[in-house]
Amino acid sequence: MKLLFVCLFAALMLTVLASCGGQADEDGVITLVIWHDKEAEVAAALQTKLDELAPDIIVVLERKSGLTETLKLVGNSPGAAPDMFFFAHDKVGVYSEMRIIVPISDFVDAALLDLFLPKTIEAATYNGRVYQLPLYFETLLFMYNRAIMPDDDVPTNTLDLFRFMQRHTGGGHFGFVEQFNNAYFVGGWMHGFGAEMISADGVPMLDTPEMIAALHYYGRLMRLMPNEAEFATINTLFREGRAAATIGGPWLIPSIREAGIDLGIAPMPIVSETGLPLAPFMGVQGLHVLRVAAENPVRNEAIRTVLNHLISTDIGVALAQASGSAPALAASFDLPVIYNDPMVMMMLETAQTATPMPNIPEMDIMWTVAAGMLVDINFRGHEVEVAAANAQRRAEDLIALMR
């Protein structure tokens, strides 16, 4: 019987081992793996472009949920880590500190980087080096439902927006909704008041007078918003025609159109108090190269080919159209298909004032702390000044603990 157990055990181990697939490359053909978290349409567009490199280089796109967390763990581990990943620019600080990624300038001539909109390159620059090949960028947009908010009713400033909300909120309907507990969304308001969550050198700025003013102002609007702040609720309200306007990402547009909403897109309202427009965060999506892949000479060469192959307006435009975003190559905006697209041009306009999401490691903490601060104010009824001071102290403590 003992023998039986041992045999059983060994047999099982062997079957399991034998069924382990290796990722060996066949002669001359090299397979690169890119992780991403994008919509199927975006992945398909990128795949089409990368298939042009076959049969010498095969690129496999794998969708990963929780990509950022997995990378933190396996990012330095050959065999488990991918060769590249396709993600927003805001994690380059963390990954470069952990030596998971290498600068893009190792693969792409500096002169070629000048072809991109400066802001997209600036977004991915950490400690003076560029860590991402930008493909497209996105900002939040002011969207409205023409059936409830006719074009000439669209507020140009926040005071008008507030008055519109007062008139149109009630009975399960809302004048304006957005994810009011999410710092990514409220960030636009903070910037519109001249506040920022964190300074460039990593000092939290949650209790500045500008921030307090922004939070006070926002608190008045918040009272006219729904009971839930999370994305499913907010987006469903707008899709069902129960909210006249929202500030949301371009990724919403296909489902909004599908729901039969007559969608309008307008410039961000001007903050009446400061004269500045709401300035949402900007996210640049692009490719990052992993160190473990770059250290392998064969892969290194293939990665160079892939990256340079992607510096072309056609793929930028294809991706931008698939994602509803704006291409990162400056020359794209000379193409009729882009400059005739009002939504993309609106995004370009918003991007003039938008703030790229900070890419320093400290920002990871700010998202959590700032969200906590918003919940304290919006749901727990804490005084703005108290909540801001608490959050500031908390952020300082946590950042001190990072080292």
What residues from 326 to 365 belong to the interface with other proteins (CB under 8 A)? 361, 364-365
Instruction: Give the residue with the Cβ less far from other proteins, 337 or 386.
Output: 386
Among 31, 68, 157, 236, contact with other proteins (rule: CB under 8 A)? 236
Phi, psi of 229 (to 5 degrees): -110, 0
| 37 is an interface residue for other proteins by CB under 8 A | yes
DSSP string, 54-103: TTTEEEEEEE-TTHHHHHHHHTT-TTTS-SEEEEEGGGHHHHHHTT-EE-
- For residue 310, the SS3 value is coil
Interface region with other proteins, contact rule CB under 8 A, candidates 5-13, 161-169, 204-212, 342-350: 5-13
CB of 352 to other proteins, least distance (A): 23
CB of 365 to other proteins, least distance (A): 6
# residues contacting other proteins (CB under 8 A):
78
Place of tokens 């400066």: 118
Instruction: Give the residue with the Cβ less far from other proteins, 155 or 361.
Output: 361
d(CA 264, CA 352): 20
d(CA 295, CA 49): 25
Instruction: Give the residue with the Cβ less far from other proteins, 180 or 217.
Output: 180
Among 128, 172, 275, 336, contact with other proteins (rule: CB under 8 A)? 172
Token pair, residue 292, equals: 């473990």
CB of 100 to other proteins, least distance (A): 9
Token pair, residue 121, equals: 């390159």
Q: Are strands 263-266 and 84-88 parallel, antiparallel or unpaired?
A: unpaired
Per CB under 8 A, contacts with other proteins among 15-34 are 15-17, 19-21, 23, 33
Question: Count of H helices and E strands in the chain?
Answer: 18, 14
Among 62, 109, 314, 385, contact with other proteins (rule: CB under 8 A)? 62
Q: Is-contact 322 144, C-beta < 8 A?
A: no
Instruction: Give the residue with the Cβ less far from other proteins, 123 or 290.
Output: 290
Per CB under 8 A, contacts with other proteins among 188-227 are 226-227
| 397 is an interface residue for other proteins by CB under 8 A | yes
Instruction: Give the residue with the Cβ less far from other proteins, 55 or 403.
Output: 403
Dihedral, 81, 82, 87, 93 alpha carbons, nearest 10: 40
CB of 174 to other proteins, least distance (A): 10
Among 47, 105, 199, 255, contact with other proteins (rule: CB under 8 A)? 255
Token pair, residue 80, equals: 């488990």
| 97 is an interface residue for other proteins by CB under 8 A | yes
Per CB under 8 A, contacts with other proteins among 111-130 are none
Q: At what angle are helices 363-378 and 384-402 packed, to 10 degrees?
A: 160
Check residue 328 and report its DSSP letter. S
Omega before residue 55 within 30° of 0, cis: yes
Q: Where are the beta strands (DSSP E) in 200-356?
A: 243-248, 263-266, 281-290, 326-327, 355-356
CB of 152 to other proteins, least distance (A): 29
Token pair, residue 247, equals: 């500030």
| 237 is an interface residue for other proteins by CB under 8 A | yes
d(CA 284, CA 386): 34
Per CB under 8 A, contacts with other proteins among 66-95 are 66, 69-70, 72-74, 76-77, 79-82, 94
Instruction: Give the residue with the Cβ less far from other proteins, 94 or 244.
Output: 94
Instruction: Give the residue with the Cβ less far from other proteins, 138 or 196.
Output: 138
Residues 6 or more apart whose Cβ sits within 8 Å of residue 223: none
Among 152, 232, 336, 340, contact with other proteins (rule: CB under 8 A)? 232
d(CA 53, CA 73): 30
CB of 246 to other proteins, least distance (A): 13
| 2 is an interface residue for other proteins by CB under 8 A | yes
